[in-house]
Amino acid sequence: MPAPVEGGADLGGDGPAELAQRARRGDRSSFDALVRQTYGEAFALALRMTGNEHDARDAVQDAYLRAYRSIPRFRGDAAFSTWLHRIVANCAATQLAGCDRRQHQPLDTVTPADTEPAFVERRHDHDPEACSAQVADRDRLTAALSALPDRLRAVVVLRDIYDLPHEAIAAELGITAGAAKVRLHRARRQLRERLFPTAPEAHRPEQVARAG
Amino acid sequence: MLADPERCRETIRALPMIADPAEIDPDDARPTAHVRTCLRCQAELVRYRTVLRMLRQLREEGVGVPDGAVVEVLEALTAAYSGRPPGRAARRLALVGGLTVAAVAGMATATVAAGRTRAARAAPAS
């Protein structure tokens, strides 16, 4: 859970579960504290889904207003963050639906960074060179995500980063579970093509390893 | 032993999903069986799994929160607590109100202008 951020003091270090219970009973200061505790995560989700800060801020604000109105119905069966993520995802999807005006960068628009070597397996966490390479990999992944069409990015973010099931993704985006799977397939394929810009080499007969 | 190109193509098409163990169709073992015997498809599988691993790592990484963003939400909530529209809604309301006033003013001006034109045309005839 991210550290409390700007906007005021935390309520004695209470966790989201306690704060949510008090907020359910109408304690507004507890709800404000929940906002401070969870904003960073909510904003990260919205930013990854929408791909831009302005829409992400709007989506998160809408999400907290909806969460405030809905918190009396929050039973605590799931973690507050899980419940909030569903609301943020829904608000971000609504934001995306109203933002078809936005252009995304086509996949064939290659920036200099795209021509750099793709991911390499690196496990030396204390190696500064490996750390900086990991940052570069993350930046390339973030750029590749941003370049995806909105409808594909939303699905891959919810499934592969936030681990939502297909049915939940479909519900939040207003599509069928089948359509969510199709979009996920396309999104993963486009990410792979962008991050490893080489054609699959499986079309030529080649010597292969023996089974087993 | 030579790879079956058609089987490779089928497998490559399926890899975006079967690279994720949670997505493997238990009723169709052909792609995974093929991958076990095909080095090129194994290499492609590794690429997909690397993408998935990096995506999952993103979850643990925060993003910078813009200055003033939390305060903006808290102010919107304060407005909601007191039954007022939140800041952004209020701004939109002001915009819609302004456009409405401008439209009404424009219609009024057009009506007056049309009336004067009619009066001017009628005057020489009489």
- State the complex-level ipTM: 0.71
CA distance A77 to chain B (A): 22
Residue B120 to residues A62, B79, B107, B109, B117: CA-CA distances in angstroms?
55, 54, 20, 16, 5
Q: What is the pLDDT of residue A28?
A: 92
Measured between beta carbons, the chain A residues lying within 8 angstroms of B54 are: 119, 137-138, 141
Fold match between domain A1-103 and domain A104-199: no
Q: Does B90 touch chain A (CB under 8 A)?
A: no
| Yes or no, beta carbons of B5 and A184 under 8 Å apart | no
- Summarised one tens digit per residue, pLDDT across range A85-136 is 999 999 999 988 876 544 444 433 333 333 334 444 444 455 666 667 777 8
Q: Does B18 touch chain A (CB under 8 A)?
A: no
Q: 10 Å Cβ neighbour count for B85?
A: 14
- Summarised one tens digit per residue, pLDDT across range A13-65 is 788 889 999 999 989 999 999 999 999 999 999 999 998 899 999 999 999 99
Domain A1-103 is in which class?
Answer: mainly alpha
Minimal Cα distance from B79: which residue of A?
A65
With CA atoms as reference, report the closest residue to B4 among A210, A206, A199, A209: A206
Q: At what angle do helices A53-70 and A80-97 cross, to 10 degrees?
A: 130
Write down the domain spans for chain A.
1-103, 104-199
CATH of A104-199, one of 3.40.190.10, 1.20.58.100, 3.90.1300.10, 1.10.10.10: 1.10.10.10
Report A:136-155 residues touching B (Cβ under 8 A): 137-138, 141-142
Measured between beta carbons, the chain B residues lying within 8 angstroms of A43 are: 63, 65-66, 69
CA distance A84 to chain B (A): 15
Cα angle B114, B118, B120; round to 5: 115
What average pLDDT does the structure give for chain B?
82
Q: Which residues of chain B have pLDDT under 70?
A: 1-3, 84-96, 123-126
